[in-house]
Structure 1
Amino acid sequence: MIRYQRRRRYKYTLTSTYACPTGLSPARPIKRHYLQLDADGLLTIQPGYAWDGPSGPTLDTPSFMRGSLVHDALYQLMREGDLPGEARRRADELLREICLAAGMWPPRAQYVYWFVRRFGARHARDQTRCAP
């Protein structure tokens, strides 16, 4: 049996290591090629990680980039079955928190949060497939 996932194109590639406390505590450390989430909730993203930046009806502004990086990484861990779907709320909250800390206008940060809460679920579902 093989396990595989469809991929889509990405706009950005990380060129330096980035680490962020998430408030998530996985039962065991998660280690992927470019992503690690330790038992204390520290997410480390390695250079070479690719993500598509902010999604939806929005602009890719500097105050949105770091939040979109972390949010996309956490959603990827959910799609790959490493994090449970219940982690989605925290990922969405963290997106808002990071954007606010980066200087995003608070009403825009709230809109971003509302948007991912309303439309993000299908992007966080485990997409692992099996074939004989």
Structure 2
Amino acid sequence: MSDDWKWRLARDYRYETGLAVDCPAGAASLQFGDGKQTWLTIDADGAVTVSAGYAWDGCSPKFKVFNVVLGTPDGAPNPQTGRPYTYFASLVHDALYQFMDAPGFPWTRAQIDAVFLQILRADGWCWAGLYYAAVRYAGGAYRWINQWRMFA
């Protein structure tokens, strides 16, 4: 993973989405990774686990201009967690988006965006609706642009 990422997860993070999934016979979970490491696990009950070491950039878009990062604010520190209000929502959302096109991935982009909103609300982010609208209406285009840049 690149050094350009804003955060790197120190220990596994688990979130209960409430969205049950069908797993292959005999499997309790679906696992997604890069061939060397499993970065994302989705259990049959819909619990999502992002593995320690996963790195992400927080809420997007963000751009570097002369070593200054400009873009979507991640919010003030949440007194409950000591992390920005959007920290866990952006973590789960980024990991789910990353593997959304993998074979066997169980959820649509709309469901992933709904999980993002669910976490923002659970963490008390006052701009949850605005951030949800941004990922809902701009997330597809931003995702397409990032994929295009990977191959350019």
TM class, shorter-chain normalised? Answer: 0.7 to 0.9
Q: Which has the greater radius of gyration?
A: 2
TM-score normalised to the size of structure 2? Answer: 0.66
Contact 1:26 1:38 in 2 (8 A): no
Gaps of 5+ in 2: 62-70, 76-83, 148-152
Q: Which runs of 4+ in 1 moved over 6 A?
A: none
Identity across matched positions, percent: 36
Choose between structure 1 and 2 for higher RCO, CA contacts under 8 A separated by at least 6 residues: 1
Per the normalisation by structure 1, the TM-score is 0.75
Match of 2:91 in 1: 69
Secondary structure of residue in 1 paired with 2:100:
helix
Say if 1:87 and 1:63 are closer, same or farther in 2 by CA, change over 3 A: same
Q: Residue 7 of structure 2 aligns with which residue?
A: 12
| CA RMSD, 1 decimal | 2.5
One-letter code aligned to 1:30: L
Q: Distance in 2 between matches of 1:76 and 1:60?
A: 19
- Give distance in 2, aligned partners of 1:119 and 1:8: 26
Check 1:21–1:15 CA distance in 2 against 1; reply closer, same or farther (3 A cut): same
Unpaired segments of 5 or more residues in structure 1? 1-6, 128-132
Alpha-carbon spacing, 1:89–1:80, altered in 2? closer, same or farther (3 Å)? same
Match of 1:91 in 2: 112
